């Protein structure tokens, strides 16, 4: 499970979501020792999270929700086989029915990015604890609203940045924080994904049978159905997501920021475009370079779709470039490459990954619920929202074509026009983000 390429290929399509509601009664909490879970969006990471949840003791997944009925029925059959002691798994196309059930303690939000905020907020207001897929929100404004909802309803919310639960990632940061690398001048983050390519441009078509497409769109602009924008490939369109920057960037930028103990950047610049596959169906860039300015170091983001030859011979990673050596970290492990010119050289051979991050992330989440210790979460909504905001800054710099400057006191951009256009996603089709 550490290798997301294989991890997601096995569940290659993204998931659906359903109607929203503005008010729910608070549910009772834990009538038994068994945690009862429901998943909204059961294709792709929503299903992977469901399988990881089953590794936790005294936990049952009792309900599934999706807008694609064929996927829903397939997952129900698979789930019953995985839980021989559970004889009934309810299925829904309307996620409000899950939130109305007082016997459900935890909701997994595994839907496309444009649904994360609404469904997390609705679940919290219904008294549920939430495991929400990354990125936390699809805009900076949504991220802020998600934090406010967690605080208002006093829920425990874990964001699916599961690398935070892996030992080799924390071990690598211990070395970064030890000072052995010397002054770190640059942090490089790269994501080269050869298996991720946009789809061909195809004509709009009728909605396939068994799919509630209008509900899948939800608050996104109303558009005709197009197979190249749907399921897994929603990632490459601004209506629903933010390309590799928000898909992988929240994982990788997260460790760069943690390693440097950094807050928000002062400014962000970005250059990129559809350079490799201009003929394919996508809006987000297939090639992007972003430069984040911090007080004492620079952070460089470099992403490319359709090729694997990234820095240091790895298709993804984080490099902390210090005076004494460079620590290179990815999902397979970490190492320190010595700086030959340094007086205090440091070199550490490859330390390989040894554990299952998703399963450990779920144990951390459920332990926090059972013990009522929200501060023990490995990726709280505050932390997930922080890194989602930084990823959004990179996309906003690219989309606006401007160097964007951040006012960290006001938590907005210094340019009012940038704030007006990009800070919050517009909601459509009668949907609105609840005011917390």
The radius of gyration of the chain's CA atoms, rounded to the nearest angstrom, is 21
Secondary structure element (H or E) that encloses residue 92, with its range: strand 90-92
**Do 133 and 258 belong to one domain?**
no
Mean pLDDT throughout 137-143? 98
- CATH of residue 19: 3.40.50.720
Q: Are residues 68 and 103 in the same domain?
A: yes
Place of tokens 């749907």: 230
Q: Are residues 369 and 249 in the same domain?
A: no
Report pLDDT for 29. 39
SS (H, E, C) 84-116: CCCCCCEEECCHHHHHCCCCCCEEEECCCHHHH
Share of the chain above pLDDT 70, in %: 93
Count of domains for the chain: 2
Q: Which residues contact 293 (CB under 8 A, 6 or more apart)?
A: 265, 266, 267, 268
Please check whether residue 285 lies inside any domain of the structure.
Answer: yes
Q: Is the bond into 186 cis (omega within 30 degrees of 0)?
A: no
How far is the C-alpha of 283 from the C-alpha of 238, rounded, in Å?
7
DSSP string, 161-191: -GGGG-HHHHHHHHHHHHTTT-SEEEEEEEE
Question: Do 147 and 385 meet the contact criterion of CB atoms below 8 Å apart?
Answer: yes
**Cα distance between residue 232 and residue 387, in whole Å:** 22
Residues 286 and 187 in one domain: yes
Q: Tell me, yes or no, whether 69 and 141 share the same domain.
A: yes
Same domain, 188 and 313: yes
Evaluate if residue 181 carries a pLDDT over 80. yes
The predicted-structure confidence for 10-50, as pLDDT tens digits, reads as follows: 433 333 333 333 332 333 334 458 999 999 999 999 999 99
pLDDT of residue 436: 87
| Residue closest to 315 by CA, chosen among 199, 189, 135 | 189
DSSP category for residue 198: P
As given in the structure block, the two tokens for residue 342 are 């340094």
The residue count for the chain: 436
pTM of the predicted protein model: 0.92
The verdict on residue 434 lying in a domain is no
253 falls within a domain: yes
**Mean per-residue pLDDT, 345-374:** 97
Between 4 and 221, the more confident residue is 221
Instruction: Judge whether 217 lies within some domain.
Output: yes
**206's tokens:** 């009728």
**Domain stop point among 331, 366, 381:** 381
Examine residue 432 and state whether it is found in any structural domain, yes or no. no
Distance CA 408, CA 235 (A): 29
Residue whose pair of structure tokens reads 């299903």 in the numeric block: 47
Structural domain range at position 106: 4-164+358-381
| pLDDT for residue 172 is more than 90 | yes
- The pLDDT of residue 161 is 98
For residue 435, being part of any structural domain is answered with no
> Token pair for residue 66?
């999706």
Domain of 403, CATH number, reads: 3.30.360.10
- The answer to whether residues 60 and 121 belong to one domain is yes
Q: What is the CB-side half-sphere exposure of residue 242 using CA atoms within 13 A?
A: 30
Do 32 and 71 belong to one domain?
Answer: yes
Indicate whether 133 and 213 sit together in one domain. Answer: no
| 320 and 252 share one domain | yes
Angle (CA) 100-106-109 rounded to 5° is: 90
- Bridge partners of 36, per DSSP, are 60
Domain co-membership, 49 together with 174: no
Residue 364 lies in a domain: yes
What's the rounded mean pLDDT across residues 175-200?
Answer: 97
Q: Could you tell me if 320 and 190 lie in one domain?
A: yes
Residue 430 lies in a domain: no
pLDDT in tens, 252-279: 999 999 999 999 999 999 999 999 999 9
Task: Determine the Cα–Cα distance for residues 47 and 109; give it in Å rounded to an integer.
Answer: 10
pLDDT at position 48, please?
A: 96
> What does the pLDDT average to over 311-336?
98
């Amino acid at each position: 499970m550490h290798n997301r390429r294989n991890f997601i290929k096995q569940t290659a399509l993204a998931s659906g979501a359903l109607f929203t509601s503005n008010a729910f009664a608070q549910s009772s909490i834990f009538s038994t020792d068994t945690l009862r879970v429901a998943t909204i969006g059961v294709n792709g990471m929503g299903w992977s999270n469901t399988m990881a949840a089953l590794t936790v003791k005294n936990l049952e997944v009792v309900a599934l929700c999706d807008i694609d009925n064929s996927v829903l029925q397939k997952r129900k059959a698979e789930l019953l086989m995985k839980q021989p002691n559970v004889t009934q798994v309810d299925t829904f196309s309307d996620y409000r029915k899950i939130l109305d059930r007082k016997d459900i303690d935890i909701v997994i939000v595994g839907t496309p990015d444009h649904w994360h905020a609404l469904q997390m907020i609705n679940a919290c207001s219904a008294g549920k604890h939430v495991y929400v897929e990354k990125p936390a929100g699809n805009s900076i404004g949504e991220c802020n609203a998600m934090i406010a909802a967690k605080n208002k309803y006093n829920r425990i919310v874990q964001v699916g940045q599961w690398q935070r639960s892996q030992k080799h990632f924390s071990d690598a940061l211990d070395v970064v924080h030890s000072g052995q690398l010397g002054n770190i001048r640059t942090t490089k983050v790269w994501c080269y994904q050869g298996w991720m390519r946009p789809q061909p441009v195809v004509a709009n078509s009728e909605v396939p049978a068994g799919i509630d497409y209008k509900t899948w769109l939800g608050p996104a602009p109303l558009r005709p159905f197009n197979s190249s924008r749907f399921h897994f490939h929603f990632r490459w369109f601004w209506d629903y997501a933010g390309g590799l920057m928000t898909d992988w960037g929240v994982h990788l930028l997260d460790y760069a920021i943690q390693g440097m103990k950094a807050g928000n950047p002062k400014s962000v610049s970005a250059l990129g475009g559809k350079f490799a596959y201009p003929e394919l169906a996508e809006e987000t860039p297939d090639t992007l370079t972003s430069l984040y300015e911090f007080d004492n170091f620079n952070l460089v983001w470099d992403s490319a779709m359709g090729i694997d030859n990234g820095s240091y011979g790895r298709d993804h990673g984080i490099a902390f470039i210090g005076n004494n050596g460079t620590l290179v970290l990815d999902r397979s492990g970490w190492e320190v490459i010595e700086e030959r010119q340094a007086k205090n050289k440091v070199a550490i051979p490859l330390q390989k990954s040894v554990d299952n991050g998703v399963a450990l992330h779920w144990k951390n989440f459920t332990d926090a619920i059972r013990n009522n210790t929200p501060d023990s979460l490995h990726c709280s909504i505050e932390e997930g929202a922080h890194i989602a905001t930084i990823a959004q800054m990179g996309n906003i710099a690219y989309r606006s074509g401007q160097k964007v400057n951040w006012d960290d006191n006001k938590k907005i951009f210094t340019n009012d026009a940038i704030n007006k256009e990009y800070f919050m996603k517009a909601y459509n089709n009668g949907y609105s983000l609840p005011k917390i």
